[in-house]
Amino acid sequence: MSSIPIINISFGFDETGFVFKHEHELGYNLTRLAIDTATSTNFIANAGGWNSVDGIYFTSWDSDTPGYKELERKISENGDTPEQPLFAAAGYDATMYVAEAMKTGESGKALHDAMYIVKNFKGITGDLSMDPDGAVRTVKEKIFQIKNEQFVLV
């Protein structure tokens, strides 16, 4: 092995776990970066288990909020658990945001305009408002590291 520091930056879905699996099998000692999909049980399984993902840094949000706990409870009533906390929360927020806008404009241009009128909608990921460029930027991501089968805030 070279003494040159190497960083693996993998942004993708569960399949990127295979990249980490091969790195582990080959004995690479890398600084590894990922996104919130690193929390997925499929990602961890594809990587070959917890031992292969230990030490990975990833970005995500702190899902330990009352709103997200309520969403988890609702999902678990169907016998499921959210596989991707950020995707589940952002998808839920988007649906509820559009539903709120539909109270003013049901479809087409009226709905488009209503989405810009809704301000500070209380979502699971934060307060939602549409920016002039059409984006809603509420998720405040943080950096975590996988340590001993836990997602630890860095």
CB-neighbour burial class of residue 111 (10 A; exposed 0-12, middle 13-18, buried 19+): middle
Q: Which of 102, 2, 25, 17 is nearest to 56 (CA)?
A: 17
DSSP label of 86: H
For 115-153, the pLDDT digits (tens) are 999 999 998 888 899 999 998 877 778 899 999 999 999
Considering the domain 7-61+140-153 in this protein, what is its CATH number? 3.40.50.2300
For 17-70, the pLDDT digits (tens) are 888 898 889 888 888 888 888 888 889 999 999 999 999 999 887 777 788 888
Domain ranges of the chain: 7-61+140-153, 66-128
pTM score: 0.70
Q: Is 35 helix (H, G, I), strand (E, B) or coil?
A: coil
| Strand blocks (E) in the chain | 7-9, 31-34, 57-60, 121-123, 126-128, 142-147, 150-153
